[in-house]
Amino acid sequence: MFVISLGDDGAELRPLEPYHAEEYLAHMERGREYIGRFIGLPDLCTDLASTRELLRSYAEKAAADSGRLYGIWTDGTLVGGVLFRTFDAAAETCEVGCWLEEAAVGRGLVTRAIRVIVDWAVEERGIHRVEWRAASGNTASLKVAERLGMVRDGVLRQSYARGGVRHDVEVWSVLAPEWRERQAAGR
C-alpha cells in the first residue's frame, strides 16, 4: 500500500481496500446525511457486508483497470475520498469524483487529492480527457472543478433523481494538454 501526503496539515491519500470496511462504514455513518445530499454512495453502505461488497467491487475495478477508490485521512481518521468512477485507458478517458464529511469541508482536501489522481492519470497512464460530473446544486463540487482548471462542457437537464428531486448534472472536463499547461504554470 502507498500513502501520499496531501500537504503540511497531515492529510493523506491512500487506496481504500476491502479490509477498511469497518472504518469506511463508520465514516459513512458520520457523513451519511451530508454526503448523501447529492450522491448515492452512502446508500450502498448500510451494513458491514454491503460496505465490504462496495470496497471489493472497487478492488475488482482496480484489477480490471476500470476504476479506483482512494480515501482521504486526516489525523488518522478517514474523512472522505476520491475515485475514478470510470477509467478507460484504451479510449484515454476517465471520470473522477469525490465525497467528504461535513467536518472536513473547506480545507482543500478534495482539490489536493483530485490533483494527485488526475496528474497520475494524465502523466502515467496517458489519459487525454478527464471528466467531472456534479449536480448543479452541488456548488462546492463545481468550485473544485473550476479550481482544477476544468471547463464546463454542458448540463444534462434533470438527469437523475435524488431525495425525490430531479437534478441537473453539469459535465466538466480537462484535456491533457490543458492539464499540463496549468500544472507547469503552477510550479
For residue 186, the model assigns a pLDDT of 76
pLDDT band at 144 (very low <50, low <70, confident <90, very high): very high
Q: Taking Cα atoms as reference points, which of 166, 168, 142, 165 lies closest to residue 157?
A: 168
pLDDT band at 163 (very low <50, low <70, confident <90, very high): confident
Q: How far is CA 118 from CA 51, 91, 173, in A?
A: 26, 16, 11
pLDDT, one tens digit per residue, over 72-129 is 999 999 999 999 999 999 999 999 999 999 999 999 999 999 999 999 999 999 999 9
For residue 1, the model assigns a pLDDT of 60
pLDDT band at 138 (very low <50, low <70, confident <90, very high): very high
State how far the Cα of 100 lies from the Cα of 179, in Å rounded to an integer: 24
- Residue holding cell 448540463? 155
State how far the Cα of 121 lies from the Cα of 86, in Å rounded to an integer: 12
**Residue ranges making up the domain that contains 79:** 4-186
- Residue holding cell 478527464? 130
For residue 187, the model assigns a pLDDT of 56
Output the domain CATH number for residue 76: 3.40.630.30
140 alpha-carbon distance from chain centroid: 13
For residue 4, the model assigns a pLDDT of 85
How many structural domains is the chain composed of?
Answer: 1
Q: Taking Cα atoms as reference points, which of 93, 81, 85, 90 lies closest to residue 68?
A: 85
Q: Taking Cα atoms as reference points, which of 78, 107, 110 lies closest to residue 97?
A: 110
pLDDT, one tens digit per residue, over 13-67 is 999 999 999 999 999 999 999 998 888 899 999 999 999 999 999 999 999 999 9
